[in-house]
Amino acid sequence: MLPHPLAILSEEETNIARNVILAQHPNTVIDFREIYLSEPPKAQLLEFLALEHSGRLSPTSPRPPRLALCQYDVIGNDRIPSFEESVVDVGTRQRVQHRV
């Protein structure tokens, strides 16, 4: 069963997000602060909720992507941490946003 768009990330989804971030920073120390659900935009959520409340929701109904907001420090050779945030689409296993 597919998770509700507002359900917290599962352990598997959290691990996927972590692995995507680790792959982006090979041979670097990453200190994760938090990984949590990035809620979908209101417009996407309203479409899903309209289907859900009308009783027309099915396993094939369109759903907003499951996004994980990852906050972490990248610690390089100079040992000075750089705080970074990334949004990972756990369905496609791709980083879709990044900010230092």
pLDDT of 77 reads: 81
Work out the burial of residue 56: count CB atoms within 10 Å of its CB; fewer than 13 is exposed, 13-18 middle, 19 or more buried: exposed
Percentage of residues in the chain having pLDDT higher than 90: 75
Rounded CA-CA distance 15/31 in Å is 14
Examine the pLDDT at 82 and tell me if it is beyond 90.
Answer: yes
Tens-place pLDDT, residues 23-71: 999 889 999 999 999 999 999 999 999 988 998 888 888 899 999 999 9
pLDDT of 14 reads: 98
Q: How confident is the model at residue 1 (pLDDT cuts 50, 70, 90)?
A: low
Mean pLDDT throughout 14-28? 95
What is the DSSP code (8-state) at residue 79?
Answer: -
What is the DSSP code (8-state) at residue 77?
Answer: T
What is the DSSP code (8-state) at residue 27?
Answer: T
